Amino acid sequence: MAVYIGCGTVFGLAMGMGWVAPDASMLPWATFVGTMLAVLYVALRSGWSARFHDAALTAPQIVLGVTAACWGYVLGGPVRTAALFPLLLVLIFGTFSLGWRRILWLTVFAIVSLSFSIALRHGPSPGGDWSLDAPGMHVDLVNLGMLVVLLPATSLVAVRLSSLRRKLRSERRALTEALAEVQRLATRDELTGLPNRRHMQELLDRELARSARHEHRFSIALIDLDHFKRINDAHGHAAGDAVLRSFAMTAVGGLRGHDVLARWGGEEFLLLMPDTAGPQAEATVWRMLERVGHLPFMDAGSLSFSAGVCEYRRGETATQLLDRADVQMYEAKRAGRGTVQVG
Ligand SMILES: Nc1nc2c(ncn2[C@@H]2O[C@H](COP(=O)(O)OP(=O)(O)OP(=O)(O)O)[C@@H](O)[C@H]2O)c(=O)[nH]1
């Protein structure tokens, strides 16, 4: 719009100075361009154009630009050559979304439009002066020749820029996907799909800070599968992996939405239970033990774990809390495994 207003003003001034053919009027030109710009503006802003592949209406905008420039050429009389400068800018617009085929068609359209404008200037074929020496014909032909050279060159630049933009867009998409994958890998345990130790450490720190600020209580449980070595020894490492996976799936299935179970290392898991006091946390872990006990578990009897449950004590660090849970977990092992100790 700014370019149309700027170019229109320069031409209007030239007319005001009497440098342009006296019978030329800018009014129909300005009315046409103003109406078309308003239509395009409404089509874009209302979201109506979103249904098209060319949602920015780049091609219609280029057609309008070429028409306005060529019309200006007919109006421009002795200063008409200046009306061709915007044509070069108009085609650069194609770089925003058009493929090379459309840019090529629009280039051809621009050259044909200028030829048509020149024909109009010299009058319709019977009665018009089409001779080489007709007034202004030399300038028109040189202008047309220059445009035939320059427009394809400009279009070539537009095509290159357009394909560069497309490549950039697809590379950015690939990068975003790769980043999401890296984030997933950085926070998830590959085998079980649970949050990994590093991520759980962050969640624990966050919960500690939240608890300090809002005086929320929360509990954790350190869970260690019992006699896991026997499974590996008897059935192989792959079978052990499968047991870890099905334990993770079964254990998570019985948890509340806020609770987070993470793989803490090997056959050890850490359960974080926000807004949960010790007794409720203990009940949750007992329920988990029961669910896990129903897992089909090779020929080695039922799967069990030993767990140490602790409610967070004000002023405690994460390490102190984890140490307490560890002590309780070993208590559970000493007490014969398959049990939960609270401390
Ligand atoms: N398959 C498999 N085994 C693992 C993995 N991580 C740790 N282990 C195994 O888990 C076993 C843990 O053995 P121990 O620390 O002796 O404990 P346990 O046999 O469970 O005995 P208790 O904890 O005392 O009941 C070891 O044999 C490890 O090799 C894993 O990712 N996959």
Query: What whole-number distance in Å separates Cα of residue 70 and Cα of residue 80?
Result: 9
On the question of pLDDT at 101 being above 70, the answer is yes
For tokens 């056959």, what's the residue? 267
For tokens 């030399």, what's the residue? 138
On the question of pLDDT at 207 being above 80, the answer is yes
Tens digit of each residue's pLDDT (9 = 90 or more) over 249-297:
999 998 998 999 999 999 999 999 999 999 999 999 999 999 998 776 6
- Write down the pLDDT at residue 45: 95
Query: Is the interface score ipTM higher than 0.90?
Result: yes
Confidence of residue 298 (pLDDT cuts 50, 70, 90): low
Ligand 1: list residues with CB < 6 Å: 191, 224-229, 232, 237, 240-241, 244, 266-267, 333, 337
Tens digit of each residue's pLDDT (9 = 90 or more) over 34-48:
999 999 999 999 999
Tens digit of each residue's pLDDT (9 = 90 or more) over 117-160:
999 888 866 667 778 888 889 999 999 999 999 988 988 888 88
For tokens 């319709």, what's the residue? 124
| Best of 190, 232, 298 for a ligand 1 pocket test (most atoms within 8 Å of beta carbon) | 232
Distance 227 CA to ligand 1 centre (A): 7
Q: What element of type H or E holds 170?
A: helix 137-187
Q: What structural domains does the chain harbor?
A: 2-179 (no CATH), 197-342 (3.30.70.270)
Query: What whole-number distance in Å separates Cα of residue 253 and Cα of residue 290?
Result: 13
Distance 212 CA to ligand 1 centre (A): 36
Residue 4 has phi, psi (to 5 degrees) of: -60, -45
Tens digit of each residue's pLDDT (9 = 90 or more) over 44-72:
999 999 999 889 999 999 999 999 999 99
Query: What whole-number distance in Å separates Cα of residue 154 and Cα of residue 160?
Result: 10
Q: How many CB atoms lie within 10 A of CB 304?
A: 18
Across-strand partners of 223?
269, 307
Provide mean pLDDT across the span 191-219: 93
Residue 20 identity (one-letter amino acid): V
Cβ(143)–Cβ(84) under 8 Å?
yes
- Write down the pLDDT at residue 202: 95
Enter the DSSP assignment of 129. -
Q: How far from the centroid of its chain's Cα atoms is residue 103's Cα?
A: 27
- Write down the pLDDT at residue 300: 54
Q: What element of type H or E holds 26?
A: none
The ligand 1 atom at the shortest distance from the C-alpha of residue 265 is 6
- Write down the pLDDT at residue 103: 87
Query: What whole-number distance in Å separates Cα of residue 92 and Cα of residue 89?
Result: 5
Q: Would you name the residues annotated as active-site residues?
A: 267
Tokens of 270: 């850490």
Tens digit of each residue's pLDDT (9 = 90 or more) over 15-40:
888 888 766 788 899 999 999 999 99
Provide mean pLDDT across the span 62-83: 92
Residue ID of nearest Cα to ligand 1 atom 23: 226
Phi-psi region of 277 (alpha: psi -120 to 50; beta: other; left: phi over 0): beta
Tokens of 327: 């002590």
Distance 267 CA to ligand 1 centre (A): 5
Tens digit of each residue's pLDDT (9 = 90 or more) over 217-261:
999 999 999 999 988 998 899 999 999 999 999 999 989 989 999
Enter the DSSP assignment of 188. B
- Write down the pLDDT at residue 301: 67
Q: What is the pTM of this model?
A: 0.62
DSSP H helices in 236-303? 237-253, 278-293
Residue ID of nearest Cα to ligand 1 atom 12: 229
The ligand 1 atom at the shortest distance from the C-alpha of residue 306 is 25
- Write down the pLDDT at residue 134: 85
In angstroms, the first-to-last Cα distance of the chain is 73
- Rg of the chain's alpha carbons, rounded to an integer? 38
